[in-house]
Structure 1
């Protein structure tokens, strides 16, 4: 698998967010803890992108994403929600997994490649099921590792 974004273990969080706004807030906090971003800057960027249209991907997944100055490559964070949240997804399904992506402000194609990589991950039926069924951080990491290993084989 070609990796188009950085995802570190600290960027996996189990979340009790009960609203779309709370999911975006938790993602901003996750990016702040894992990568050292200013949470208010991340939240503002995610909210601005969300105003353009829902990032609810479908099949229980949202992919909130934005661009920020001051970073040199796309980075990701994953929230596993304790209860489904309405995210105005294209398929009308509530979201159980939010896969956040922050790219450099001028990332252009790199941002699109990173989004495509996340999209491929969550479109894969087996990976999607494993991610949605994960009950802790270790299971989330194992699911993504298994998907990467499967793509390399």
Structure 2
């Protein structure tokens, strides 16, 4: 789909998770199910990164991310939360959109470019509003794939 990362339709969900720990656990579940990764390794890597500092990006978005040796290219999952959750973001605002990103261990610039693409997309207030108002995961995926495809062109 994107030259920067893969986002599959099954990797986009809505969630009633009500804590940062539950969100990170659900992200690990999704990466395991959708991309056939080891759930415990994914959760350990995401938690290691989170311990260095919150991946709460600000503007009601979190981007938990990590690197894993088992990957050939970056992969993503997206969760829209039913209710905003405190993610210890720098701006102190609870998050309602969570983008998980895993990249290969040696994907230095590629990982940074994928993070930058996600952050650019989330700085667009209209896009954020559209994602929050989308009726369900299929509509969320459609919105995201349109932007990702457009930005990759």
Question: 1:78–1:98: 8 Å Cα contact kept in structure 2?
Answer: yes
Structure 2's unaligned 5+ residue stretches are: none
Q: Where does residue 96 of structure 1 map in the other structure?
A: 96
Distance change (3 Å), C-alpha of 1:2 and 1:141: closer
Q: Where does residue 84 of structure 1 map in the other structure?
A: 84
Q: Where does residue 117 of structure 2 map in the other structure?
A: 117
Question: 1:80–1:96: 8 Å Cα contact kept in structure 2?
Answer: yes
Question: 1:50–1:64: 8 Å Cα contact kept in structure 2?
Answer: yes
In structure 2, C-alpha distance between the alignment counterparts of 1:122 and 1:141, rounded to whole Å:
14
In structure 1, C-alpha distance between the alignment counterparts of 2:2 and 2:74, rounded to whole Å:
13
Question: Which residues in structure 2 correspond to 1:2-151 (within 5 Å)?
Answer: 3-148=3-148, 151=151
TM-score (norm 1): 0.93
In structure 2, C-alpha distance between the alignment counterparts of 1:104 and 1:126, rounded to whole Å:
31
Q: Deviations over 1:81-122 (max 9, x none)?
A: 111110011111101111000000111111101111111111
Q: Alignment RMSD, CA only?
A: 1.8
Give the total of aligned pairs.
Answer: 153
Structure 1's unaligned 5+ residue stretches are: none
